[in-house]
């Protein structure tokens, strides 16, 4: 072993032999810090292997999973917790990450076995106070307040735990590395140690990660590449609802969604989020439409609201919340050209209600009808759901998962659906289906002639 001094970018992890004011990789200023790290013999690192094996001779078996006790968490994990997996959970401060994982630790302790909760930010007494508040007290739940990774490693190896929770990766350190906790070298090496512990002992490990002010996980991007699953816990601290979203999962599908409500006794699962998003919708309101979106395998009914009003300035203002701004601008251009709406002198504001972020093209038709409804000051038909992608020539295109979307709409009492013309969809008979070929036909079917 020998000591090596490098300058490492704290934003992207780029290394240089000398200090630079600007990182040549990510372009950020004053992010390179001097770090001394121990370089081990390459022969001692890596995964031991007897050599390459033909893929036809490898026995593939399904990964064993066990439930975490929280159905919404199981959903975003792909059906349960896989032994030996490392799950990274990120989110804004105070959003409820520690509460979520403490509830999961309690459920695993009750149903599976011993769970270790390692905290580098709070004392064991503080964690117990939270556990008492949310009712997460059990003899199989072990707490330790420690930041030294060598101590954590000894504790994990000493006892056969069913799961380990580390809160957070930015607070722990390895004594062999001289840089401060949270630096690129510390985060990378501590994560590598956790991966080795998880794979070697077959214990699943949850890791909490801080986020930057832009909402991305703090530390090097290699942190997200190393772990098996990345979850984002989102929501407004001033509102009760929280969304747990999968952005990476080696053992399941991505873009899954879990929804919780924050209460005084902890997080409560929302098993029917569509009803939650619909219960406060105003009846016969202009500028409102409903879309059945698909988040992973879960269909969700979401209200799209639009407000179109005359602009008081030379350049009209455009704003979008929960939907892609560029997509909304594109749809407004199509409406102006293909439907004849003179939107060039009007401000337009588009929002997805409930804090949901819609990034699939299936919401195009609902956005278009919400804007048209607000512009004409005429509500869309009552009990109507809208589905379809809108093209630049004004055509309405097919989307995937139509059966799931229509079944969710029918379950909540919607009677009519306007979407792309397709005989197979019309023959399903789930609800009344009106097939259209263009956005002009959809406007005529949903609102009627000019008001």
For residue 136, give every residue at least 6 positions away whose Cβ sits within 8 Å of its Cβ, in sequence order, or none: 102, 103, 105, 106, 130, 266
Per-residue CA distances from 48 to 44, 84, 140 (Å)? 10, 17, 34
Q: Is-contact 162 112, C-beta < 8 A?
A: yes
The C-alpha atoms of residue 260 and residue 338 are separated, in whole angstroms, by 41
Using alpha carbons, select from 388, 387, 305, 413 the residue that is nearest to residue 353: 305
Residues 276-299 have pLDDT tens digits of 777 777 878 899 999 999 887 788
Place of tokens 């939907």: 323
364: left (phi over 0), alpha (psi -120 to 50) or beta: alpha
pTM above 0.85, yes or no: no
The C-alpha atoms of residue 148 and residue 67 are separated, in whole angstroms, by 30
Give the number of other Cβ atoms within 10 Å of residue 430's Cβ.
16
pLDDT at 63: 67
- For residue 208, the cross-strand partners are 89
For 417, list phi and psi in degrees, rounded to 5: -130, 130
For 185, list phi and psi in degrees, rounded to 5: -65, -45
Fold that domain 276-446 belongs to in CATH? Ribosomal Protein S5; domain 2 (3.30.230)
Helix ranges restricted to H, 11-60: none
The 432-436 sheet, strands edge to edge: 318-321, 346-352, 298-310, 288-295, 384-386, 416-420, 432-436
**One pLDDT digit (tens) per residue for the chain, 451 residues:** 456 678 888 777 788 888 889 888 888 888 888 776 555 544 444 444 567 889 888 776 666 888 999 999 999 998 899 999 999 999 888 889 999 999 999 999 999 999 999 999 899 999 999 999 999 999 999 999 999 999 999 999 999 999 999 998 989 999 988 788 888 888 888 999 999 999 999 999 999 988 776 666 666 667 888 899 999 998 876 778 888 989 899 988 877 888 899 988 899 998 888 887 777 778 788 999 999 998 877 888 999 999 999 988 778 999 999 999 999 999 999 999 999 999 999 999 999 987 788 889 999 999 999 999 999 999 999 999 999 999 999 999 999 999 999 999 998 889 999 999 988 888 888 899 999 999 999 999 998 654 4
User: What are the sequence ranges of the domains in the chain?
Assistant: 2-43, 65-270, 276-446
Fold that domain 65-270 belongs to in CATH? Rossmann fold (3.40.50)
The C-alpha atoms of residue 172 and residue 57 are separated, in whole angstroms, by 41
CA 250, 255, 259, 262 torsion: positive or negative? positive
What stretch of H or E contains 407?
Answer: helix 402-411
Q: Is-contact 87 227, C-beta < 8 A?
A: yes
Residues 169-202 have pLDDT tens digits of 989 999 988 788 888 888 888 999 999 999 999 9
């Amino acid at each position: 072993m020998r000591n090596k001094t490098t300058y490492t970018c704290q934003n992207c992890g780029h290394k240089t032999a000398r200090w630079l004011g600007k990182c040549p990789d990510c372009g950020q200023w004053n992010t390179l810090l001097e770090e001394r790290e121990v370089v081990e013999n390459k022969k001692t690192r890596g995964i031991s292997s007897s050599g390459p094996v033909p893929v036809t001779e490898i026995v593939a078996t399904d990964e064993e999973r066990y439930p975490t006790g929280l159905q919404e968490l199981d959903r975003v994990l792909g059906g349960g917790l896989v032994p030996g997996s490392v799950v990274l959970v990120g989110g804004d401060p105070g959003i409820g990450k520690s509460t979520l994982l403490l509830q999961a630790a309690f459920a695993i302790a009750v149903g599976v076995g011993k769970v270790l909760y390692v905290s580098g930010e709070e004392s064991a007494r503080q964690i117990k106070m939270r556990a008492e508040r949310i009712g997460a007290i059990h003899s199989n739940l072990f707490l330790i307040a420690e930041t030294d990774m060598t101590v954590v490693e000894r504790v994990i190896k000493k006892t056969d735990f069913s799961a380990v929770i580390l809160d957070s990766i930015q607070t722990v350190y390895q004594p062999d590395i001289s840089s401060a906790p949270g630096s690129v070298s510390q985060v990378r090496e501590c994560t590598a140690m956790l991966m080795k512990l998880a794979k070697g002992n077959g214990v699943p490990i949850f890791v909490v990660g801080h986020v930057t002010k832009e909402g991305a996980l703090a530390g090097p991007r290699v942190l997200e590449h190393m772990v098996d699953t990345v979850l984002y816990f989102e929501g407004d601290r001033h509102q009760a609802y929280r969304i747990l979203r999968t952005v990476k999962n080696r053992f399941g599908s991505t873009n899954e969604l879990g929804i919780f409500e924050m209460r005084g006794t902890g997080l409560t699962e929302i098993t029917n989020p569509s009803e939650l998003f619909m219960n406060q919708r105003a009846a016969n309101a202009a500028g409102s439409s409903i879309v059945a979106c698909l988040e992973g395998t879960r269909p969700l009914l979401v209200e799209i609201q639009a407000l179109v009003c005359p602009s008081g300035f030379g350049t009209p203002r455009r704003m979008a919340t929960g939907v892609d701004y560029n997509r909304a601008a594109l749809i407004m251009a199509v409406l102006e050209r293909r439907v004849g709406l003179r939107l060039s002198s009007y401000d337009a504001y588009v929002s997805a209600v409930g804090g949901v972020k819609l990034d699939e093209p299936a919401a195009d038709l609902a956005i278009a009808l919400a804007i048209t409804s607000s512009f004409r000051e005429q509500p869309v038909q009552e009990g109507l759901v809208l589905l379809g992608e809108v093209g630049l020539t004004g055509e309405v295109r097919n989307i995937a998962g139509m059966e799931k979307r229509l079944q969710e709409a029918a379950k909540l009492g919607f009677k009519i659906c306007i979407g792309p013309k397709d005989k197979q969809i019309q023959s399903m008979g789930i609800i009344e289906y009106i097939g259209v070929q263009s956005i002009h036909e959809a406007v005529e079917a949903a609102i009627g002639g000019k008001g």
